[in-house]
Amino acid sequence: MNQDIKRLQSKISSFCEERDWDKFHTPKNLAISICIEAAELLENFQWAKEDLTLDKENVVKISDEIADVLIYSIRLCEIMGLDPISIANKKIEKNGVKYPVKLSKGKSEKYTDLK
């Protein structure tokens, strides 16, 4: 596992242990928390025009929500014994098969609709 990710995972783990939160961090609870934080991320874009101004205040709010999603995701990986870098790389490889450049370049269709 990447050393930066290991250090971050260790920092998150220590933070949770110090607060006795391990008992709450089941895969189900962490998955729910990821969804909740992702929804909070979306709130920053709800009803915004396509050309949303990303001023400093907006970037800080968005960054905080992305960080929450990332922290819960890394925590879930730890609880489930998964290497986040490894699983991300494997998923990119799978997506490469599902979305070959020849069929998907410049298109937003789902892989089942590519022709």
| The Cα angle at residue 63 between residues 50 and 19, in degrees rounded to 5 | 145
From residue 68, alpha-carbon distances to 38, 103, 114 in Å are: 8, 34, 34
Give pLDDT, residue 100. Answer: 93
**Burial environment of residue 104 by CB neighbours within 10 A (0 to 12, 13 to 18, 19 or more):** middle
**How far apart, in whole angstroms, are the C-alpha atoms of residue 112 and residue 10?**
39
Give pLDDT, residue 2. Answer: 80
Task: Output the six-digit token pair for 66.
Answer: 């992305």
| Domain coordinates in residue numbering, the chain | 3-82, 89-115
**How far apart, in whole angstroms, are the C-alpha atoms of residue 85 and residue 70?**
12
CATH level 3 topology of 3-82? Helix Hairpins (1.10.287)
Query: Model's pTM, two decimal places?
Result: 0.88
What per-residue string of b and e applies to 71-89 under the rule 16 or more CB within 10 Å gives b?
bbbbbbbbbeeebbeeeee
Sequence-distant (6+) residues with CB within 8 A of 9 are 1, 74, 75, 77, 78, 84
pLDDT tens readout for residues 65-92: 999 999 999 999 999 999 999 999 999 9
pLDDT tens readout for residues 39-62: 999 999 888 877 777 889 889 999
